A and B are shown apart, each in its own frame.
Chain A
Amino acid sequence: MGFLNDILGLFSNVMFISWQQVIMWIIGGVLIYLAIKKDMEPTLLLPMGFGAILVNLPISGAVDRYYMNGVWIKDLAEGKALFEAGTAGVTYEPGVIDELFNMGIANELFPLILFIGIGAMIDFGPLLSNPKLMIFGAAAQFGIFFTLSLASFLGFDLKDAASIAIIGAADGPTSIFVANYFGSNYMGAIMVAAYSYMALVPVVQPPVIKLLTTKKERMIRMPYKPANVTKMTRILFPIVITAITGIFSPKSVALIGFLMFGNLIRECGVLDSLSETAQKVLANLITIFLGITIATKMQAEMFLTWQTLMIIGLGLVAFIFDTAGGVMVAKLINLFLPKNKKLNPMIGAAGISAFPMSARVVHKMGLKEDNQNFLLMHSIGVNVSGQIASVIAGGLILTMIGG
Chain B
Amino acid sequence: MFDVNVLLSTLPYMAKGMIGIFVVTALIVLSVVILNKVTSLGGSKNDQGNNNNN
Contacts and interface: CB of A to CB of B under 8 A. Distances in A.
Contact of A237 (B32, B45, B49): B32
5 contacts: A137-B25, A236-B39, A245-B24, A248-B23, A385-B25
A153 to B, nearest CB: 4
- Residue of B3, B25, B50 ringed by the most chain A CB atoms within 10 A: B25
A137 B42 CA distance: 30
A125 B47 CA distance: 9
Contacts of B20: 248-249, 392, 396
A138 B47 contact: no
B5 to A, nearest CB: 10
Contact of B29 (A135, A227, A396, A400): A135
A138 B22 contact: yes
Interface in B3-49: 3-4, 6-7, 9-11, 13-14, 16-18, 20-25, 27-29, 31-33, 35-36, 39-40, 42, 44-49
Nearest to B42: A232
A183 interface: no
Nearest to B27: A244
Contacts of B9: 152
B53 A123 contact: no
A138 B17 contact: no
Interface in A225-272: 226-234, 236-237, 240-241, 244-245, 248-249, 266-267, 269, 272
Name the residue in B17, B46, B47 with the highest tally of chain A Cβ atoms < 10 Å from its Cβ. Answer: B17
Contacts of B48: 125, 129, 226, 228-229
A153 B14 CA distance: 13
A396 B17 contact: yes
A401 interface: yes
Nearest to B18: A145
Interface residues of B, number: 42
A137 B24 CA distance: 12
Contacts of B3: 153, 155
A279 B28 contact: no
* 10 closest cross-chain pairs (CB), A and B: A230-B44, A131-B32, A155-B1, A153-B7, A145-B14, A138-B25, A232-B39, A230-B39, A232-B44, A149-B10
A276 interface: yes
A269 B36 CA distance: 19
Contact of B14 (A134, A148, A154, A392): A148
A153 B2 contact: yes
B54 to A, nearest CB: 7
Given A123-B50, A269-B52, A393-B17, A152 B24 contact: no
Contacts of B17: 141, 144-145, 148, 393, 396-397, 400
Given A125-B48, A230-B46, A231-B47, A237 B25 contact: no
Interface string A148-180: 111011110010010000000000000000000
A401 B51 CA distance: 40
A293 B43 CA distance: 49
Given A153-B3, A393-B17, A266 B36 contact: no
A149 B7 contact: yes
